[in-house]
Every structure is written in C-alpha cells, then in structure tokens.
Structure 1
C-alpha cells in the first residue's frame, strides 16, 4: 500500500488518534470503578438513593 509523500503524517495521525481513544477508554474504566466504590461507601454509611424508595414512603 503506497501512501505517497504524506505517509508519515497519516501514520502519525492514526497513532495519535489510537492513543487518545485508548486513554479515554482507560479513563472511563478507572472513573467507573471510583464511582462504584464511592457508591458502596455511601450505601454503607446509610445514605440511600431516592429512586430506591417506594411511592408509599414519600
């Protein structure tokens, strides 16, 4: 496959986009784990979600 005189630009661009997407995926996975841990802490301390209540409790 011949990319011509712009081969280095094309390859660099694809490499950077791939790196950014992988960083975003890792960031989302780490944030998800943090949010789940924080939610477990809140529930363990007695804080409950409003969506968990029945209509008769309101």
Structure 2
C-alpha cells in the first residue's frame, strides 16, 4: 500500500489550516485597528 495519499492529505490539511489561521488573524487585526482608531478619534481607510 502506498503512503502517498496520507502524505498528500496531511500537507493539504496543514495548508488549509495555515490559511485559515492567517485569515482569522488578519480579520482580528483589522477589527482591533478599527477599535483603536475609534478610541483615538482617528479614521483610517
């Protein structure tokens, strides 16, 4: 039995997970920046 399907699936899960965490972090960062800008009265595009 070949081990390649497991290896490919493992890499796919890692890439999808990394992309998800990256997107989640970016969204959280943008929300935090917007809240900080609202507190200081600044507006950023």
TM-score bracket, normalised by the shorter chain, equals: 0.7 to 0.9
CA deviations on 1:13-50 (whole Å, 9 max, x unpaired) are: 00000000000110111111000000011112xxxxxx
Q: Which consecutive residues of structure 1, in runs of 5 or more, have no partner in the other structure? A: 45-58
Q: TM-score, normalised by structure 1?
A: 0.66
Query: 2:17 corresponds to which residue?
Result: 20
Structure number, greater radius of gyration: 1
Q: TM-score, normalised by structure 2?
A: 0.83
Number of residue-to-residue matches in the alignment:
41
Q: Which consecutive residues of structure 2, in runs of 5 or more, have no partner in the other structure? A: none
User: Runs of at least 4 residues of structure 1 off by over 4 A?
Assistant: none
| RMSD, matched Cα | 1.2
Q: With CA pairs under 8 Å and 6+ residues apart, which has the higher RCO, 1 or 2? A: 2
